[in-house]
Amino acid sequence: MIEVIRIPALSDNYIWLVHEPVSGETAVIDPAEAAPVLAEAARRDWRITQIWNTHWHPDHVGGNAAIKAATGCFITGPKAEADKIDTLDATVAGGDEVALGDVSATVLDVPAHTNGHIAYHLPREQAVFVGDTLFPMGCGRLFEGTAAQMFDNMRQLATLPDETVVYCAHEYTQANGRYALVAEPDNDALVERMERVNAMRARGEPTVPSTIGEERATNPFMRATSIEQLAERRSAKDVFKG
């Protein structure tokens, strides 16, 4: 089984360090910056061999060059955004596979936050690295894509097994949950989840990863029944001040 380590970065980013113990390979998912990644890998005596990018935003690729310079790692990212990520060694799109030692990941096309956004699904390990597409009780802003694309993304991700662990790239849970309670005030599972989230944040604890099952039960964007409803909820969340 893989080992996954959460590395806080910048103001609210999470970088994921994924270690495959049989081969000794280690991948970095969406390195916002290099220093904390290199320090954590050195502390664990892990050899970084790969970087997987989900999209081009600087807080997801900012550490690429320095990590590559320090380790000689191989960098993979979205084919549709190759012109925006100048450190890539290989490009992938939906249906392609990437490997980390004995572990295989299927690439999912999940455009909307950016036009070429992808996710990495590791079915055997019951894990998915979603970048800025799916958050606990939230979804990514529609910077380059459409509500229709995000609706399709939510439907696609909702088909994964409930036990699938969702590794996103930001600590947005509490703010997302406040809006979710407005969108679905009668959702008892959501009310209970927010009580847990508030207690965790009061203790200074991270709230990610989550699971597909949790999102199916409490995420108003994954639970949207139409493109129009998702669009309305996304627009409302964009201006929500609660």
Work out the number of other CB atoms within 10 angstroms of the CB of residue 29: 23
* SS3 call for 149: helix
Domain count, the chain: 1
Prior bond of 185 cis (ω within 30°): no
Q: What is the per-residue pLDDT across 134-158, written as a single tens digit (0 to 9) for each?
A: 999 999 999 999 999 999 999 999 9
CATH number of the domain encompassing residue 195: 3.60.15.10
Enclosing domain of residue 67: 3-238
User: What are the tokens at 49?
Assistant: 């061999």
Instruction: List helix spans (H) across 105-239.
Output: 147-158, 173-183, 188-202, 212-218, 227-238
Q: Is the pTM of this model over 0.85?
A: yes
Q: What is the per-residue pLDDT across 53-104, written as a single tens digit (0 to 9) for each?
A: 999 999 999 999 999 999 999 999 999 999 999 999 999 999 999 999 999 9
Instruction: List helix spans (H) across the chain.
Output: 35-44, 58-61, 64-71, 147-158, 173-183, 188-202, 212-218, 227-238
Residues with catalytic function: 55, 57, 59-60, 113, 132, 170
Asked whether the beta carbons of 215 and 137 are under 8 A apart, the reply is yes
